[in-house]
Structure 1
């Protein structure tokens, strides 16, 4: 799959994903915190399936 996440988008997804998983792990929030796996995985893979479906991309286009 083609990368469609820019650097800032990826970083924010990874941070939010890790934060949700950490809060779930220490019991601050309930089991719904496991949804943090979604932004974590998409951030690490640099591909968002929803962006692909809607034709979006936060990658900077390089024109030479």
Structure 2
């Protein structure tokens, strides 16, 4: 699996995942347990793709923000 997420994209994904998860923790009492778990899949997906550097959706669409090191 080749990386297709660049460093800026990874940082943005992880920050966005943290912000969404924090918002869900604050607003969590307004959702039922199944709804909250469903909404938590979004930050989980962002966190995992940011951590491993590969996004399956980018792979399907043929996109890549990853630039290999050039010397």
Class of the TM-score when normalised by the shorter of the 2 chains: 0.7 to 0.9
Unaligned runs of 5+ in 1: none
Of structures 1 and 2, the one scoring higher in RCO (CA 8 A, sep 6+) is: 2
Unaligned runs of 5+ in 2: none
Structure of larger gyration radius: 2
RMSD value over aligned CA atoms?
A: 2.0
Aligned 1:1-64 pairs, distance under 5 A: 1-27=1-27, 30=31, 31=36, 33-34=39-40, 35-63=42-70
Instruction: From the two aligned structures, give the one with the greater helix fraction.
Output: 2
Aligned residues between the structures: 64
Q: Give the TM-score, by structure 2 length.
A: 0.74
Cα distance in structure 2, aligned partners of 1:39 and 1:8? 13
Q: Give the TM-score, by structure 1 length.
A: 0.81
